């Protein structure tokens, strides 16, 4: 079983590390090509392209300038510990994962990334901001989907082959999973959907749904799931599988309003 998740805009390169294990990203030669393109952008270009403040644009221009591919624990950080968005708040890898959990995650979890393509949890990364949906001109086209082409799909196929089955649990956002070509992916894709109650009606609430993707990732990793039927047992923080609203490989989980944290 392979899990895909999205990265996060919020980064943490300061907290104590929960593990000293690390690996190098597999697609750094492509990252270097993107960095070359990003270095052509001024701070104002970055602000306009990414729709961010001048201050954030200046920070990211500096990051592009300082980026270099010789990653060490002194200048980079493991991806699963560097990202700090809602998905990672739900996963709580730094707080809860054992060394064995990190090793299982290394084989069964993949983070899709605009700059790095595909990251394993223990892959070192340097700080960046480059969302997958951005319109960045490059030698292969006008956006990152054209740049990555089938590279991300092929990398996931290699991971699927290495871990021994064809089940892929897609917990990434649409923006990021659009970088994957399902027709060329050698996988049965499972899509969990998380619905929260609000004023008596169930719907996808972005903050809760993102956190739930992290909770589901943690559940798969800590419970060492290997069969798609086991996904229906997910019950962290009040979510319950709803068979009536699930269809095929779309698995619906619902949570009553009073159970939300």
In a domain, 196, yes or no: yes
Residue 157: per-residue pLDDT: 98
In a domain, 213, yes or no: yes
Convert the pLDDT of each residue in 114-149 to its tens digit.
Answer: 999 999 999 999 999 999 999 999 999 999 999 999
In a domain, 9, yes or no: yes
Range of the domain at 109: 2-25+78-259
Q: What residues contact 125, with CB distance under 8 A and at least 6 apart?
A: 25, 71, 76, 77, 78, 79, 82, 113, 116, 119
In a domain, 228, yes or no: yes
Convert the pLDDT of each residue in 213-239 to its tens digit.
Answer: 999 999 999 999 999 999 999 999 999
In a domain, 214, yes or no: yes
pLDDT at 8 over 80: yes
Print burial letters for 91-123: b (CB count within 10 Å at least 16), e (below 16). Answer: bebbeebeeebbbbbbbbbbbbbbbbbbbbbbb
Could you give the number of structural domains in the chain? 1
Residue 13: per-residue pLDDT: 96
Asked whether 241 and 224 are in contact (CB, 8 A), the reply is no
Return the percent helix, strand and coil in the chain, to nearest 5. 45, 20, 40
In a domain, 55, yes or no: no
Q: What is the mean pLDDT of the chain?
A: 97
Q: What residues contact 207, with CB distance under 8 A and at least 6 apart?
A: 86
Mean pLDDT across 179-189: 98
In a domain, 31, yes or no: no
In a domain, 138, yes or no: yes
Residue 164: pLDDT band (50, 70, 90) is confident
Question: pTM of the predicted model, to two decimals?
Answer: 0.97
Residue 248: pLDDT band (50, 70, 90) is very high
pLDDT at 261 over 80: no
């Amino acid at each position: 079983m392979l899990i895909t998740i999205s990265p996060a805009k919020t980064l943490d390169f300061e907290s104590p590390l929960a593990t000293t294990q690390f690996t190098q990203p597999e697609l750094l030669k492509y990252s270097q090509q993107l960095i070359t393109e990003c270095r052509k952008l001024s701070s104002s270009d970055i602000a306009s392209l990414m729709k961010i403040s001048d201050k954030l644009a200046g920070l990211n221009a500096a990051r592009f300038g300082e980026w270099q591919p010789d990653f060490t624990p002194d200048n980079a950080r493991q991806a699963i510990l560097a990202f700090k968005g809602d998905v990672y708040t739900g996963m709580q890898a730094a707080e809860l994962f054992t060394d064995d959990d990190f090793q299982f995650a290394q084989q069964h979890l993949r983070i899709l990334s605009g700059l790095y393509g595909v990251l394993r949890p223990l892959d070192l990364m340097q700080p960046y901001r480059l969302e997958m949906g951005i319109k960045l001109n490059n030698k292969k086209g006008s956006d990152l989907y054209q740049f990555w082409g089938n590279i991300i799909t092929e990398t996931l196929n290699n991971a699927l082959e290495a871990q021994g089955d064809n089940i892929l649990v897609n917990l990434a956002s649409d923006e990021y999973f659009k970088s994957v070509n399902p027709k060329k992916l050698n996988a049965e894709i499972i899509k969990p959907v998380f619905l929260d109650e609000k004023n008596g009606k169930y719907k996808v609430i972005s903050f809760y749904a993102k956190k739930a993707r992290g909770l589901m990732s943690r559940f798969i990793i800590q419970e060492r799931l290997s069969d798609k039927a086991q996904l229906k047992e997910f019950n962290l923080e009040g979510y319950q599988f709803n068979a009536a609203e699930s269809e095929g490989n779309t698995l619906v989980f619902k949570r009553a309003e009073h159970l939300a944290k």
